Structure 1
Amino acid sequence: MHLEQLHSLYKPSLESRVFTVYRGLSMPSIDFEQKISGEKGNLIAFDSFLSTSLDENVAKLFASYKQDPKNESVVFSIEIDADRMERPFADISRWSNFKNEREVLFSIGTVFRIDDVADQKTSDGIWMVRLSTVSEKDEQLQKEVQQIQLTLLKFFENVLHAQRDAKDDRKIPASNANVASMYYKQGEYEDSLLFYEKALETLNKLESSDPITKATYISNVAKVHVALKHYDKALDFYKEALNIRCHECEPNDPSLIHTLHTIGHIYRGKEDWNAALEQYQEALKLQLLSLESDLLSDPSSIAVTYICI
């Protein structure tokens, strides 16, 4: 099962909305000093799935596996507030080969705040670090994310200018799309639309181009129109992208199914229940062709539409 599905089952079953998990690891001393020690109040992000345990002793066991004497044994004690956690997480002990580890898995990109770092190691040579849940609406997190996005935006704009000067036409569409993506994340939808349209325009000028890439750019244009509440325009672009994917993709391709699902959502927002139901049913039919599809259907979408008819 996907983590999102497990999360939807696990979260309502929690006996307590606030609980503690533990993560033990051995990390280079320089990383501990620069990123953890003395960084109280700062944020820490995990760029991969985060495996934790409900058992502190399990975490300490992992922390003690220190092969390099230059490494530090660290245990993160993480207070989880389920009502503030937007990213998926779940107890996966049932599916683990090591059920006694009582593993709780968090999705990629989960962010926590460093609440406290012990002044000294425990008697068994472990640094204890307390972390807590950070909402994605947290002001400090939003400021840091915005700063990163602005830095990336400037970088992509510089790359785009360099490619134009060098007349490197084949790379210009992707650079336009990167700039558009950064504007979209900043909520600058008009600028985002402008650069996505430029990406599509420059792609169409190439003698040969990948149709799937074209469908992606068209979907991006549609996505911005949704953000701008231009729903009819969004539908036109999504249908154009869908037409390309129908000819180029396998029937159970996740992008094809996702496009159908998105069109269904737009129709549902327009209260065109029959059209929405048609899209959801088509998406579900394609998904049932393969049990290994990466994008799993949300049956509640069809249920909600039936209720509205």
Structure 2
Amino acid sequence: MLNQALRTLDGEVIINMGFFLHDLHKQIEQLHQAQVSNYRRKPFVVYRGQGLSKTDFDQLSKTIGGLLSFNNFLSTSIKQEKSLEFTYNALGDPDKVCVLFVITIDPNIGTTPFASIGDFSYFEGEAEILFSMHSVFRVGTIRQVGDKSKLYHEVQLQLTADDDPQLRVLTDRIESEVQGSTGWERLGHLLLKLGQLDKAEELYTVLLEQASDNNDRAHYYHQLGCLKYSQGDYKMAIEYYEKVLEIQEKTLPSNHPDLATSYNNIGAVYMSMGEYSKALSFYEKTLEIFQKTLPSNHPSLATSYSCIGLVYYNMGEYSKALSFYEKTLEIFQKTLPSNHPSLATSYNNIGLVYKNMGEYSKALSFYEKALEIREKTLPSNHPDLATSYNNIGGVYHNMGEYSKALSFYEKALGIREKTLPSNHPSLATSYNNIGGVYYNTKDYSKALTYFERALDIWQRALPANHPNIKTVKESIEICKRAMKK
């Protein structure tokens, strides 16, 4: 049950059996230290037989030379024939691939602890070697062996050293991105990083139920708010963020940075809901705290100016938007390298304002500055590149250069179709824009197709009163009338 919970990231079971996880790991460590001299400093081989799903096997086949980690306690045997029995258990299952892992262990290097548990195992005669959680192996060769009736794949693995350079780089990167004062917090952050939102929600819900003080409750409410925001469940995100704010306003001074974070988070949700006046109110509370507590060129101030600029942009108050965006750019130009992604975002935002003010040459200039940075620093399918292509397409669209507009819109759509879920609002934006080009070139049939795709997504992803839904419905009706003429 425990290994199943670890493999499927079952938060409730992992939390409730946390004491057992700790004790089992410690016992393996103690046995490892007591037994290591028995290996006489000579490498040896253990085996593990199992059936892998075809998807997992395909992924494994692509990682030859790379690293493989098991997120559970790993049972192996020094007896090949005993392990093959488990391999053959998958014979006849069309969804499984029979695999025998052949694992080479060098006892001279520091690794994840492992221990012989033959004297403790329920299964006598298996000569079992048990590895603690998250053992990491280097993947060697993979070859098909056996006779026609019992074909299986033999996968060579090498237990990696703790100081393996590739493993160290990967571990350091993960540790820098997944921080927290407790193991549970780090696990929650890791699940969010992996996109395992349902598992993260399960974990944080259990932790919230067990929380004994307001600081912990505020943290878990905050994480659940972030999670719901990522899922597009804006109503629940607001509820969680307001619970955080309720605790903080009772316990923190009025200019505390955590209060600024909460105001900003609530503002961001209202922004996504299209409730711009509410968003502005919360963003201004954030800015007020930052202006009192931070130096004038602090990056958080730049971010706050940018958020307010975005609200004014969406409210159609372009001169105010430009003023705040220029404050952001001024800070970034003083504090960031010339090819920093945040500078690209700042150029992009100013370009947006100029486009909507009808100053297309200025808009194009800023958009191209943003694109230049992004093409130098980002992978070819990065969503920010899609944004740049989309925006440049928009300028050409407004200038009446429809073939150029369509070319850039299609570049944006190509990235978004490869990287986003099929109901993502940004896909709807691309469909809507391409529909607009086809409408302007009087290809009403194609225009209608793209507008309807946009509407289908926006109706599922946005509140019913969102302005995008109203606009695309109007475009559909105009198209239908044009087709009847």
Provide the TM-score with structure 2 as the length reference. Answer: 0.35
For the structure 1 residues 239 and 272, does the alpha-carbon distance in structure 2 shift closer, same or farther, using more than 3 Å as the test?
A: same
Partner Cα separation in structure 2 for residue 62 and residue 176 of structure 1: 38
Partner Cα separation in structure 1 for residue 350 and residue 217 of structure 2: 40
Question: Does residue 1:40 correspond to 2:87, yes or no?
Answer: no
1:178 counterpart residue number:
223
1:303 counterpart residue number:
351
2:201 counterpart residue number:
153
Deviations 1:263-301 (A, max 9, x none): 222222222110110111010111222235883343132
Of residues 289, 314, 322 in structure 2, which corresponds to 1:277?
322
For the structure 1 residues 43 and 294, does the alpha-carbon distance in structure 2 shift closer, same or farther, using more than 3 Å as the test?
A: farther
Displacement after TM superposition at 1:175 (Å): 1.9
Displacement after TM superposition at 1:197 (Å): 0.7
Question: Any residues of structure 2 matched to 1:38-187 within 5 Å, and which?
Answer: 38-42=52-56, 69-70=104-105, 71-74=137-140, 119=153, 148-163=196-211, 166=212, 168-187=213-232
Is contact 2:333–2:343 with CA below 8 Å preserved after alignment? Answer: no
AA matched with 1:296: L
Displacement after TM superposition at 1:302 (Å): 1.4
Aligned residues: 198
Deviations 1:200-246 (A, max 9, x none): 11111115587111111111111111122211100110111011112
Deviations 1:46-99 (A, max 9, x none): xxxxxxxxxxxxx98889xxxx94454459xxxxxxxxxxxxxxxxxxxxxxxx
Partner Cα separation in structure 1 for residue 229 and residue 355 of structure 2: 34
2:280 counterpart residue number:
235
Partner Cα separation in structure 2 for residue 259 and residue 146 of structure 1: 28
1:83 counterpart residue number:
none
AA matched with 1:38: L
Is contact 2:197–2:227 with CA below 8 Å preserved after alignment? Answer: yes
2:299 counterpart residue number:
254
For the structure 1 residues 159 and 72, does the alpha-carbon distance in structure 2 shift closer, same or farther, using more than 3 Å as the test?
A: closer
CA RMSD of aligned residues (A): 4.1
Partner Cα separation in structure 2 for residue 44 and residue 232 of structure 1: 50
SS in 2 for 1:38: strand
Q: Which has the higher helix share?
A: 2
Partner Cα separation in structure 2 for residue 179 and residue 216 of structure 1: 15
Partner Cα separation in structure 2 for residue 33 and residue 254 of structure 1: 53
For the structure 1 residues 179 and 62, does the alpha-carbon distance in structure 2 shift closer, same or farther, using more than 3 Å as the test?
A: closer
AA matched with 1:184: Y
1:221 counterpart residue number:
266
For the structure 1 residues 209 and 171, does the alpha-carbon distance in structure 2 shift closer, same or farther, using more than 3 Å as the test?
A: farther
Range that drifts further, 145-154 or 172-181: 145-154
For the structure 1 residues 42 and 224, does the alpha-carbon distance in structure 2 shift closer, same or farther, using more than 3 Å as the test?
A: farther
For the structure 1 residues 200 and 61, does the alpha-carbon distance in structure 2 shift closer, same or farther, using more than 3 Å as the test?
A: closer
Identity of aligned residues (%): 21
Unmatched segments (≥5 aa) in structure 1: 1-28, 46-58, 76-117, 126-143
Partner Cα separation in structure 2 for residue 74 and residue 290 of structure 1: 46
Partner Cα separation in structure 2 for residue 43 and residue 69 of structure 1: 20
Is contact 2:65–2:138 with CA below 8 Å preserved after alignment? Answer: no
Displacement after TM superposition at 1:160 (Å): 2.1
Is contact 1:284–1:297 with CA below 8 Å preserved after alignment? Answer: no
AA matched with 1:186: Q
Q: Greater CA radius of gyration, 1 or 2? A: 2
AA matched with 2:204: F
2:331 counterpart residue number:
286
Is contact 1:170–1:206 with CA below 8 Å preserved after alignment? Answer: no
Is contact 1:281–1:302 with CA below 8 Å preserved after alignment? Answer: yes
AA matched with 2:278: K
For the structure 1 residues 244 and 179, does the alpha-carbon distance in structure 2 shift closer, same or farther, using more than 3 Å as the test?
A: same
Partner Cα separation in structure 2 for residue 178 and residue 258 of structure 1: 21
